[in-house]
Structure 1
């Protein structure tokens, strides 16, 4: 279990904290994508979020806190949307369904993922470690599904290859966010999912999208 990193707030109303921080996250993702983390000021984030700089500092202490909240919210959203993937039935069909759901989520949150991976290096050491641990939980989700496929006999790969395959799925999904600028004129998200899934199961030589 990962210990939740606390971002201190002088406000006690949890629902208001969640609302205001959600506004900050949305505003900061837009600004970080356009200007980068270091060139964006907290005053600009407050303005984009729709409140004053004084109000902003009631909910966070530093600009790094905002970046952490962005990263943490991404993994929370992934977990919320994909939490039932571990219940897939150990079939190749179920694995392909999980991959499709995950890649589709990357498409819907591509700006968020792009900002996180470009700017997470600016997090304090403890916050970065927390984010990396959350990343590994996402990999573990696919490890569990792959393991279920092995146990059911639908997939035949060595135990040591399961983790590598899980990392491969996670990274290939995230590539849609990083390289979409070069790929969107060639593939729709559905075509991208189809080709990547086919290459995952058949390799480049045997790949034949249908």
Structure 2
């Protein structure tokens, strides 16, 4: 899926990157408070630290800002998860547990961004939405691969369909830490939440295995 090209009147790529990072940070704050539709481009510019005129030198519309926000969030989550996994030599079930814990940790660190993405991705323009959804699929496939490794080693007995479902469940359980945080974060620390989710996930797999 081809990445959407966001228009810019500025040619300096480093400056574009810097300004858009400021824009993304400001937009996340406002979208969390007011939502995408109630936030104006003027407010985004002010929160980002520059004028409305400067804002439009780096984007073509408010929808472009939302696209940049969603794209940036997926990139950061994926990159951080890969970094956590690359720094370990663990394999098998230990690697799966680490992958789950690392994903939950990243979501905890970026919970405002993840919350905004879930709430506002539906407002993306039609030409941008498929690309952003593809990024979500790629992240889920990272988890699928780790689960498949356990299946190939004989550590788990799961069909291809079951692997996909387990991978999606892990992603949703991680994201749930943000969109149910009003209650979950009163009950658990992120470490407690992670431990319980991993325990229940593995128990569920073992129960399915014992029925077969």
> TM-score, length-normalised on structure 2?
0.92
Unaligned runs of 5+ in 1: none
* In structure 1, distance between residues paired with 2:155 and 2:14: 45
1:131 match: 132
Tell me, what secondary structure is at the counterpart of 2:183? helix
Contact 1:27 1:45 in 2 (8 A): yes
* In structure 1, distance between residues paired with 2:170 and 2:136: 13
Q: Does 1:150 align with 2:151?
A: yes
2:192 match: 191
Deviation at 1:8?
1.0
* In structure 1, distance between residues paired with 2:91 and 2:165: 18
Deviation at 1:194?
0.6
2:116 match: 115
Q: Encode CA deviations 1:114-146: one digit per residue, 9 max, x unaligned.
A: 111111111111211111111000110001101
Contact 1:147 1:162 in 2 (8 A): yes
Change over 3 Å in CA distance of 1:128–1:82 after alignment to 2: same
Unaligned runs of 5+ in 2: 208-212
Q: Encode CA deviations 1:60-100: one digit per residue, 9 max, x unaligned.
A: 00000000000000111012112254897641011000100
* In structure 1, distance between residues paired with 2:89 and 2:33: 38
1:106 match: 107
1:50 match: 49
* In structure 2, distance between residues paired with 1:82 and 1:150: 21
Deviation at 1:163?
0.6
Contact 1:90 1:146 in 2 (8 A): no
2:30 match: 31
Deviation at 1:34?
0.4
User: What RMSD, in angstroms, separates the aligned Cα atoms of the two structures?
Assistant: 1.8
Q: Encode CA deviations 1:7-52: one digit per residue, 9 max, x unaligned.
A: 1111111111000000000000000000111110000000000001
> TM-score, length-normalised on structure 1?
0.93
* In structure 1, distance between residues paired with 2:40 and 2:160: 47
68-77 or 197-206, larger mean C-alpha shift: 197-206
Tell me, what secondary structure is at the counterpart of 1:185? helix
